[in-house]
């Protein structure tokens, strides 16, 4: 069964460093998303991406964040200068013709 | 604004008993509603959805959910709980006005099934 894959599963980075979280969405999907979940809290929307551009972003998604689809398969989230409060589980998701989104296993980002 | 509420932080049930995890929603217009499950250190797995039609929808692993428009609820149910059902459950609504597929999640309910 097709699935969304994310790498790495865990990333530890120093405050102020740049990180890139990678995702391979399901191959025939057209809509891509990033969400995050701070430990023990709810899942929060960050950004949606369609037709090679951002279709919506939340207020969390400030200038430190960017997304890119560099080729036909990968979808990346870059955090330019990480802060302690960026520590969270980051989920990539994709959706196709149906309204449901399919999520990856997540990348646990720890900023020290 | 669209929102979802899960009034219980935790639900405890004995194995073999029926379970219900509650969800209420607030939307403008007709809702698209979803349930997802998260096992420890894992991603979110899609369980089921309500878009239109029959108010009782069936999903994966024997779960079902009942859409009730008058009570604005979408409770998750299972007739006989398994210990392996123990996980974190999220109700979500699709933010239709934004038309980007964005999901708004409830705060999650931990289901604990005891043997």
Summarize pLDDT for A91-107 with one digit per residue, the tens: 999 999 888 999 999 99
The alpha carbon of residue B42 and the mean position of all alpha carbons in its chain are separated, in whole angstroms, by 17
CA-based nearest distance B106→chain A, Å: 7
Q: Is the peptide bond before A36 cis (omega within 30 degrees of 0)?
A: no
Which of B45, B102, B107 is facing A45, going by the closest CB pair? B102
- Measured CA to CA, the distance from residue B17 to residue B80 in angstroms comes to 5
With beta carbons less than 8 A apart as the criterion, state whether B103 and B5 touch. Answer: no
pLDDT tens digits, one per residue of B28-61: 888 899 999 999 878 899 999 999 889 999 999 9
Which of B46, B49, B105 is facing A43, going by the closest CB pair? B105
pLDDT over threshold 80, residue A108 = yes
- Measured CA to CA, the distance from residue A105 to residue B3 in angstroms comes to 25
């Amino acid at each position: 069964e097709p699935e969304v894959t994310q790498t790495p599963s865990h990333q530890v980075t120093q405050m102020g460093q740049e990180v890139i979280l990678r995702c391979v969405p399901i191959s025939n999907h057209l809509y891509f998303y990033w969400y995050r979940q701070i430990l023990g809290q709810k899942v929060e929307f960050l950004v949606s991406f369609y037709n090679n551009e951002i279709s919506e972003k939340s207020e969390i998604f400030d200038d430190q964040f960017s997304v890119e689809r560099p080729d036909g398969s990968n979808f990346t989230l870059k955090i330019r200068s990480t802060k302690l409060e960026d520590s969270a589980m980051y989920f990539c998701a994709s959706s196709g013709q149906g309204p449901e989104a399919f999520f990856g296993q997540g990348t646990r980002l720890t900023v020290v | 604004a669209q929102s979802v509420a899960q009034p219980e932080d935790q639900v405890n049930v004995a194995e073999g008993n029926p379970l219900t995890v509650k969800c209420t929603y607030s939307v403008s217009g007709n809702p698209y509603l979803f349930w997802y499950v998260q096992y420890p250190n894992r991603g979110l797995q899609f369980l089921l959805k309500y878009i239109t039609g029959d108010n009782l929808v069936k999903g994966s692993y024997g779960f079902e959910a009942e859409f009730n428009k008058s009570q604005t609820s979408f409770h998750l149910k299972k007739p006989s709980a398994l210990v392996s059902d123990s996980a974190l459950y999220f109700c979500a609504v699709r933010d239709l006005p934004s038309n980007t597929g964005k999901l708004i999640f409830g705060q999650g309910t931990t289901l604990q099934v005891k043997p």
